[in-house]
Chain A
Amino acid sequence: RKEVEQDPGPFNVPEGATVAFNCTYSNSASQSFFWYRQDCRKEPKLLMSVYSSGNEDGRFTAQLNRASQYISLLIRDSKLSDSATYLCVGSGYSTLTFGKGTMLLVSP
């Protein structure tokens, strides 16, 4: 079983839409979680850390549900520049475990 699973998408949304991604993790001992953004053929960049029940940063809100072992990312008022792949990441036994990513395409 994959430790961190995501729907690969793509999610196609118009500008201004609200979109949500979910991610499930299997390691119940994971303590910290992150969302990364990766543009095509570029390096992953940290978008948000999710340390407790969740947090918000502008148009982006991340939620953590430990009982159900899932993490979500909500993007409000989508911009064209939000088009990217979003990687869900959980802390493993000694390293981080990356999901394969969910692709988002925002159209005019």
Chain B
Amino acid sequence: DADVTQTPRNRITKTGKRIMLECSQTKGHDRMYWYRQDPGLGLRLIYYSFDVKDINKGEISDGYSVSRQAQAKFSLSLESAIPNQTALYFCATSDLSGQPQHFGDGTRLSIL
């Protein structure tokens, strides 16, 4: 089983819909992250969390919200999806500051 699992793997939905992307990990890491990746723009950090009671905005948090339900679970929500949120979304985890991050397989999200 993968250490960092994202669901769903693919999602096509319509403008205005609420969408939740889920991430769970078995690595025992405290830190979790959500990124989006667009062609030519690289990975951009949306939100991150250093423990269950900690939520921090990243570079591009507008239009997104997150919930850290447990150490192992970190979900990303799009309250009202818009087409420019079409992207590849990655969840990642890490142990301590400065340590490498470990990525899930990604979620391909298309908003029509």
Residues of A in contact with B (beta carbons under 8 Å apart): 31-32, 34, 41-46, 49, 87, 89, 91, 94-96, 98-101
Contacts and interface: CB of A to CB of B under 8 A. Distances in A.
Contacts, number: 44
B33 A43 contact: no
A43 B104 contact: yes
B80 interface: no
Chain A interface, >50% SS class: loop
Interface string B27-48: 0000001000000111101001
A98 B108 CA distance: 20
Contacts of A101: 42
A32 B98 contact: yes
A44 B41 contact: no
